Structures are given as structure tokens and as C-alpha cells.
Amino acid sequence: MELLSYFTQLLDPQTMMWIFIGAVVGVILGALPGMSATTGITIFLPLTFSLPPVTGLATLAAIYVTGSYGGNITAVLINTPGTSDSLFMVLDGYPMTLKGEGLKAIGVTTLTAFVGGVIGTVALLMIAPQLARIAVIFGPFELFLTVMMGIIIIIGIVKEEVMKGLMSAVLGFLCSMVGLDGLTGKSRFSFGISAIHDELPMVPLVLGLFACAQVFMLVAENKESIVIGKDTLKGSAWLSLKEMKDLAFETVRSSVIGTVVGIIPAAGTTIAAGLSYNLAKRADPDPSSFGKGNPKGLATVSAANNAVVGGSMVPLLTLGIPGNGTSALFLSGLFIHGLAPGNKLFTDNAAYAYGLLFAFLLANVFILIFGMFGAKAFVYVTKMPSSVLIPIIAALCVLGAYSYRCLPSDMVIVLITGVVGYYMMRTRFPIAPFVLAFVLGKSAEIYLRRAVMLMNGKVSSVVLQPLPLVLIAIDIIMLVAPFWKDIVKAVKKR
């Protein structure tokens, strides 16, 4: 079996050591607020110069996979998502922690991330060339309609505070317009301030609104530790067979969604997680339990997040089109080792291509090992005295913000948005809609404007196609579904 020989080349001790190092670095950087797999790959990219191609690429793969998982840990345990990718993670993860179920939350997020990662990678392994077409059938108009799905999800997460949620989202849209106009390259709404000439930077903004605000919140609450009075370290991270059965369907469905969305260029983790979360919530017999610490909510998000990793590699390896910023770094990794993406990669250089894919699988196994055996150590953080925890998070916030672009002004931004986030938390303005609108508003605007430019003189041949029509239908259904019962009621009354 050729495939087997592609796998066994990874079992060489030096390669295994590098994958292990990559996995450790990935988890640590992923867990630190503001750092991510992208940071890790940037650091390690020059290092892989001197490694054999398979070892080098496998190391980067390990960082990518575990880095995307590492963010789960801190999001779940201390409510500090570092990027918009783990935005949905806090919705059910942190309430679980507050209930004293931190250990179980880590178990859920680890197991489902493993399943999601494996499904995404297997899809990549089996049907990459066939799937690659998905990447190009999405033009700017189709991408706009996909991003709209993400925007519509905002309705699903505003919960009781509808007015406040929508106000928060509108504010997010406004902020997304600050900076360079994606089409003309001119700076707008930046008021001549050089720190926001390009954009309101995403990482410092998310860090401020969540992590930094959480620091202020912990100070104001004056609690001894995040969780008090409950023995959070009792029990085990492993789930019972029944618990696993309960989560199985949601996990698999979210993994498939994550894989497919990952393939669509530029759609990314946020939309994948949002779509799966929304679907799970709507399909659940008790939707109101979501957002209050329902393990299913956490499971869908972690599975989708990690499945995106595999999906995003499909168009990259087969067409050279990166699905997101992190996978774009892989392009450099391939080029450094003299490998060009494309069909040739899977024929002439099959040993490297499949070696890389198997490394993704191995990295997922490392997630399982770290997550399940490290759970107790992670959860200890919820028992850590606030006097120790608060300065650590505060320092990491500032550091993370700075490391994003290495601009000192970003450290000011994190503090300002931290104050804003704190008052939003105190006045029960939901923050998630703001961030979602901020992240997606940007892409929605540019895709729509580009689509309109491309429609010049041929609207019908762009809009009246099967895929756009299906996407429009999905958008409308998603928009109407939450109010369907009310509409039916109103009609019956008449």
C-alpha cells in the first residue's frame, strides 16, 4: 500500500519529535489571548527551512491544528476568546465553567474537536480534487450570500435582549467601515489617526471587548477565583457513553458543515461555527438551554471549528487558493520546500502531499492526548486566586494586542475597547453580535460591492443561476424561520 508508506514516513523519530513540538507550541499559542496558530506558523516557518520537506510541513500542520484547538481552552474556562474564531465557544462553554463543570467542558470540546478535525482531514484525504471545484463556483455574489447567512445568525444569538443585541450589531457594522476602503484603497472614517488608518484591528478589538473587559469584570466582582465553592477538579474529563451518544449527531453534522464552509474561500471559521450553532439550537427540543451551558452548543462549535482546518486546505493544495489567513501561510511553507500547489502536488509529489495530510490526522491525536490528560491542569485556572489570574490575563491582553501588528497603538486600542466591553457587560449589551457584525460586515460590504461591479450589464446571468438562487432561498428561510410561529399565529388570528 502506497498510502501506508506515506504514513510510515512520519513515524521517523525526528519527524515525530517535531510534530510533538509543533503540537505543544500550537496549544500554548492558541490558548494565549491574541496569539493563534497564525503566530505559531509565522514563527516556525523560517525554522522549517532547514528541515526535510515532510518534517517541516508536518510541524506546520501540527501547529495549525492544535493552535485552532488551543483557543478553546481559554475561551471556555476564562471567557477570553482571542479571535473571532472562538467567539461562539464562550456562549455555552463559559456558563458550563461557572456551573462548576469546567472539566466536562474541556472533555466535550476536546473530543468533539478531535472528531471534527478527523472528519475534515479524511474529507481532504479522500476527495480533495473533487471538492476543490466548490472553491471556484463561489464568486463574489455567492460569497456575499454566504456571509449574509453569518449575519442573519446574529438574530439567533441576541436572545432576550433583542433591542440591545441589534444596537450592538449596528455598532459593529459601523466600526467595520473604519479604515481602508477595500475597493478604492482610500482610508475612510479614520479621522487622520494613523493607528486606525488601515482598519480597526480585529485582534486588539476582540481582545479588548472580551479578555480585557473580563479582567475589569473580575476586579469589579471581587471574587476570590472564577469559580467559588464548587470542587471543579472532581471527576474526569471523559464523557460517559450516554453523554457521547447525546452529542454524536450534532458533532458529526457540525463537522460536515465545518468542512464544506472551510472549502469556500474566505468564508472561514466564524461562519462555520455560527451556522452549526444556529442549526443545533433550532433543532433542539429545548432551544432556550443554549447559551446557558448546554454541552451540545459547545460540541457543535468545537467540531465545526476544527473541521474548517481540513476544509481550508482543500482549495489551497489543489488550486493554490488559501481559504483563510493561516492556510495562506502554508503557501510559503510549500514554496520554501520547492512544492507548488496544484494537481501535480498529488501525483509527482504525492509523498509530501499525503505526508502532510497524515500529519493533520496525527496532530488531532495529539489534541486528544493533551486535552484529556491535561484537562485537570487547565481547569485549575478556574480555582486560581484572582490576585494571580487577573494580572496574567491583563499582561497577556496587552502583549497579544501588540504582537498582532507590532504597533504600540494597538495596546491603547485594547484598553479603550476593554472599558467599552466592561460597560457593555455591566449594562447587559451582548458583545457577540458586535464582533460578528464587525468581522462579517467587512467581507459582506466588499463582496457585495465587487459583485455589483461584476453585474454591470448582466445582472440576470449572475443572479439567475442555480447556486445564487439556492443561497438566496437559504438566506430567506434563515431570516424567517425564527419568526415563523409568530407569523402563522398572526395569520390564523385573522
Partner 1 sequence: MKRLMAMLLALTLSAGMFGCADVQNGDNPQESESSQVALDTSTSWDVVRPDNLPADYPNTEIRFIYPFNSSGSTTVIYFRLLAEKIKQMEGWKYSVVLNQREGAGGDIGWTAAAEAEADGYTITFTPTSMLIKAIGESRPYTGDAFEYICNLTSSPGVIAVAANSPYETLEDLLQAAQASPGVVSIGVTSSTGGEGLAVMQLEKASGTDLNMVPFNSGTEIIAAVSGGHCDALCLNVGDIITPVEDGSLKVLAVGSEERSAEFPDAPTYQECGYDVVQVNSRAIAAPAGTDPAIVQYLSDCFKAAANSPDVQQQIADIPLELDFMSHEEVQALFMDSYEEYLTLWNTSPWM
Provide the binding-site residues for partner 1, judged by CB under 8 A.
25, 28-29, 32, 35, 39-40, 42-43, 45-47, 49-50, 135-141, 180, 182-185, 187, 197-198, 265-266, 315, 319-322, 325, 328-329, 331-332, 335-336, 338-344, 384, 388, 392, 395-396, 399-400, 402-403, 405-406, 446, 450, 453-454, 456-458, 462
Question: b/e map of 164-191 (b: 16 or more CB within 10 Å)?
Answer: bbbbbbebbbebbebbeeeeeeebeebe
Say whether 99 sits in a helix, a strand or coil.
Answer: coil
C-alpha span between 150 and 443 (Å, rounded): 11
C-alpha span between 452 and 432 (Å, rounded): 29
Partners of 187 in the beta sheet? 180
Residue linked to cell 500550537: 26
Closest by Cα among 2, 208, 236, 280 to 102 = 236
Shortest Å, Cβ 14 to partner 1: 12
C-alpha span between 276 and 257 (Å, rounded): 7
Cell of 254: 457540525
C-alpha span between 485 and 481 (Å, rounded): 8
Cell of 49: 527551512
- Sequence-distant (≥ 6) Cβ neighbours of residue 192 within 8 angstroms: none
Of 298 and 339, CB closest to partner 1: 339
Of 192 and 338, CB closest to partner 1: 338
Of 88 and 138, CB closest to partner 1: 138
Closest by Cα among 366, 416, 458, 461 to 212 = 416
Of 289 and 332, CB closest to partner 1: 332
Of 54 and 158, CB closest to partner 1: 54
What length is written for the chain?
494
Of 58 and 108, CB closest to partner 1: 58
Of 99 and 383, CB closest to partner 1: 383
Of 245 and 344, CB closest to partner 1: 344
Of 287 and 342, CB closest to partner 1: 342
Shortest Å, Cβ 78 to partner 1: 13
Of 14 and 288, CB closest to partner 1: 14
Shortest Å, Cβ 280 to partner 1: 30
- Sequence-distant (≥ 6) Cβ neighbours of residue 18 within 8 angstroms: 51, 55, 56, 58, 59, 62
- Sequence-distant (≥ 6) Cβ neighbours of residue 134 within 8 angstroms: 260, 263, 264, 314, 315
What are the backbone dihedrals phi and psi of residue 254, each rounded to the nearest 5 degrees, phi first?
-65, -35
Shortest Å, Cβ 160 to partner 1: 37
Shortest Å, Cβ 217 to partner 1: 21
The dihedral of CA 202, 84, 293, 106: what is its sign? negative
Shortest Å, Cβ 197 to partner 1: 6
Say whether 257 sits in a helix, a strand or coil.
Answer: helix
Shortest Å, Cβ 293 to partner 1: 26
Shortest Å, Cβ 420 to partner 1: 24
Shortest Å, Cβ 438 to partner 1: 18
Q: Is 238 exposed, middle or buried (0-12, 13-18, 19+ CB in 10 A)?
A: middle
Shortest Å, Cβ 414 to partner 1: 14
Cell of 274: 455560527
